[in-house]
Each structure stands twice: as structure tokens, then as C-alpha cells.
Structure 1
Amino acid sequence: MQSLSFANYLEDSTYAFLALNALLGVYFVIVVWRRTSQLRFRSDESEEKFITEFNSLVSAHDYESAMKLCDYDFRALPRLCMIILGNRDSSYRQIRQVAADSMQRHIVADLEHRLSWIATVIKSGPLLGLFGTVLGMMAAFARIGTGEKVQPSQIAEEISIALICTAMGLATAIPLGYILSNLTIRVRRLQESLGAGLARVLEPFREVES
């Protein structure tokens, strides 16, 4: 009876872990979605306007105004432009390397780290659900093994409740799988946009060096 009670306790705890796992997945989905929205320009026109203005200021050697243009702008490209301006006395190759490293470490890697948490939630959901189902089945068979007269309907009810754990795990993993694919595409597009924008804002520094 003690093993039966313990199995029932663990099964009930699994529901809480499944709920926490789902909430963790939703949290990271919201974080990544908001983060990508904050880092990118809302339109190609606004990005083009920023790059044109930045390049004209750099070409005129008006670095102070260029810094003011990027200051308090927390989108990815203006942040990288601030790093570029801070290293403007270095060679073009060094500036490009520093900017590329900063983009990878501080922007792309951060987003990929959060995406990996969503992937972990997707993998954990079905496993937690299976764990809860196994515990429920153990409890059902343990009840049969007690030697007491047990109604088949009661056993069937316990087994059906145990299977809810697996259903909950799958209900978490399946939609999050689609969402993860969408977020991965968003991050990839942001990375491609940053790469193209970075190449353009570096052009004035190449011209100065040449």
C-alpha cells in the first residue's frame, strides 16, 4: 500500500511538472519573440533611412553626431554601429572582425541560447508525460496486486487518468515545435539582415582606409 500511495503521489506531482514545463516554454517563446522585435527595424524603409544617415555622418567624419544617432537605440544594428565607432581608429579588417564577433556573441548567441531552452521544453514534455503515465500504470497494477476485489471500471479509470499525462506532454510539445520553427526563421532573418546592414555601414571605413 505504501508503494501504491507513493506512485500516486509521484503521478500527481508529474502534473505540476508538466504545467511548469509548459509555462517555461511559453515564457521563452514570449522572450524570443519580443527580443527579435526589439532588435530589428520595423520596416526596410526605416533601416534604409538609418543606414543612409549613419553613412553620411561617418563619411563627413562627424562621429559625434553618428554616436548621437545610435545612442539610446537598442536595436541590433545601431548597437553594432556604436561598437564600430568605438573602434574607428583600428584597421578596417579589425573593425569588421570586432563587429562580426559582437553580433555573434551578444545578439545571435543570446537568441540561440533562448531557442535551445524551447527545444529542451519540447523534448521534456513527452518524457514527463510518459513518466507520469508509467507511474499511473504502476499504481493501477499495484492495486490489482493487493488481492482486494477491484472493479474493472475502476482500473480503467485510473489507466485513462494516467494517459492524460502523455496527452499533456504531447499537447505541450506539438504546438511549441511549430512555434520554434517560426522563431528560428525569425532569428535567421534577423541575422541575415544584420549581416547585410553591417556590410553597408562598414563601407565608409573601407573607403577611409583605402
Structure 2
Amino acid sequence: MLLADISVFDIISTATYGALAGVALWGLYCIVVVWTRVSQKRFKNEDEQDVFMDDIEQMVTTGDFEGVAEYCEGDARAIPQIVEMSIHHRDLGYKRARQFVMDRFQRDVMSDLEYRLSWVSTVIKAAPMIGLFGTVFGMMGAFNTLASSASVNPSDLAGDINIALRTTACGLAIAIPLMILVANVNIKIAKMEDLVGSGLGRFMSVYREALSRTPNGSAAASSVDPNLAMQSPK
């Protein structure tokens, strides 16, 4: 008897709330992942990065490649990992090593961020549409209540209209904050790219000069653990 009392409109409205909750949680999860990942990959400010780059430039200029690798080892930030990979792949030569590390950075860091943000964009578009879907069925339920009885209880009609309006409001309440968060995250990503670009420019300049002065110095790369040499900038 209990199942018989539940209408298809009640089932659909409940499913709509569940779908809205699901997309909201997924969108928030992706935002948190991107936010955390960007924070892990960038220096807190340019001054901190400059101190790091000063140490790197000094070691690279003196040809202390192993010291550079040890200095960067275990650092999860983008610049140290790019520097470490460049040092491990210096036997490829400047141009090929530079291309290799940039491809790895783009594939393993930036592509992952773009993948997560694309999901958030999908949630922003889908949430209002799911809310509109609930609105349509809420209004259908209201008209069904009107058609099923000559005298309609106003509370029954108000319940259907309430569902119709509430689902749209929930969809907008999900989409609007996520839009603001995405804009904030995009600013953080842009700042990270600027810092990485400036640091990479400084490193590649001294790296190229160091390789040109020690054409045979890259032989030391053969002694590097190949597992470390293929380390990803994640």
C-alpha cells in the first residue's frame, strides 16, 4: 500500500534532488582537487621562487648537476620538478631536454587541471538544467492534481509548485558559487603559469650555457637511476 501511495511525480522529484546533490558534490570535489594541486605546484610568492632560483643558478653555473638534482629531489612544486627532469635528461641536449620536460609538464600537470575544470564547467551547465527538469515535472504534478479532482486541496497544489520552484533554485544555487570558484581557480592557475614561466626562463638560460661549457658532462647522466629519470612532475 505504501508504494501505491507514491506517485511517479514524487519519485522523479526525489531523483531530481539526488541528481542535484550528486553533481554538486562532484563539482565541489573537482574544485578542491584543482585548488590543492595548484597550491602544491606553485611557490607562495615570487620572492620565494627567486631565492630558490638563485641557489639553482649558482649550482648550475658551477656545473654541479648532481647537487641540483639532490636539491630538487622530493619537491612537489612545478619548477623544482622541471629542473630535476632537465638535469636527469641533459644527455639529450638542451633543445630535446627542454621539449621533453615541457611536454611532461603540459601532459601531467596542466592537462589534469583542464580535465578537472572541464568537469566543473559541465556541472555548472547541468545543474540548472536538472533543476529545470524538476520544475517541469513539478508543474506537471500540479496540473495532474488539478485534473484529478473537481475540488483541489490548496496544500496539495502548493506542494507540487513548491517542488517545481525549489529544484530550479537548487540548480542555480549550485551553479552560481561554482562559477565564482572556477574564476578564482583560473586566476590561481594563471599566476602559477606566470611564476613557472619566469622561473623556467631563468633556469633554461643558465642550463643552456652550462651544457655548452661541459659537452661531455652529460655522461654523468648514465649513472642516474632510470626510475628517477622518468619521474613525472605530478
Normalised TM-score (structure 1) = 0.92
* 1:110-165 C-alpha deviation (Å, 9 max, x unpaired): 11111111111111110110111111111121222224531345313321222100
SS at match of 2:84: helix
1:37 to 11, 31, 39: 39
Other-structure match for 1:113: 115
Other-structure match for 1:101: 103
Confirm or deny that 1:56 pairs with 2:61: no
Report the aligned-residue RMSD.
Answer: 1.7
- Cα distance in 1 for partners of 2:120, 2:205 equals 37
Other-structure match for 1:196: 198
The equivalences for 1:73-92 within 5 A come to 73-92=75-94
- Cα distance in 2 for partners of 1:187, 1:175 equals 18
Unaligned 5+ segments in structure 1 are none
Deviating above 4 A after TM superposition, structure 1's stretches of 4 or more consecutive aligned residues are none
- Cα distance in 1 for partners of 2:56, 2:194 equals 20
* 1:154-196 C-alpha deviation (Å, 9 max, x unpaired): 3133212221000000011011111111111111221122122
Other-structure match for 2:212: 209
Contact 2:30–2:119 (Cα < 8 Å) also in 1: yes
- Cα distance in 2 for partners of 1:124, 1:49 equals 45
Contact 2:20–2:130 (Cα < 8 Å) also in 1: yes
SS at match of 1:150: coil
1:169 to 165, 168, 171: 171
Contact 1:137–1:162 (Cα < 8 Å) also in 2: yes
- Cα distance in 2 for partners of 1:7, 1:155 equals 13
- Cα distance in 1 for partners of 2:65, 2:80 equals 13
Unaligned 5+ segments in structure 2 are 214-234
The equivalences for 1:120-159 within 5 A come to 120-159=122-161
2:70 to 68, 71, 78: 68
User: Quick one: which amino acid aligns to residue 101 of structure 1?
Assistant: D
Q: Percent identity?
A: 39
Contact 2:13–2:137 (Cα < 8 Å) also in 1: yes
SS at match of 1:202: helix
- Cα distance in 2 for partners of 1:132, 1:57 equals 63
User: Number of aligned pairs?
Assistant: 208
Normalised TM-score (structure 2) = 0.83
User: Quick one: which amino acid aligns to residue 65 of structure 2?
Assistant: Y
- Cα distance in 2 for partners of 1:18, 1:164 equals 11
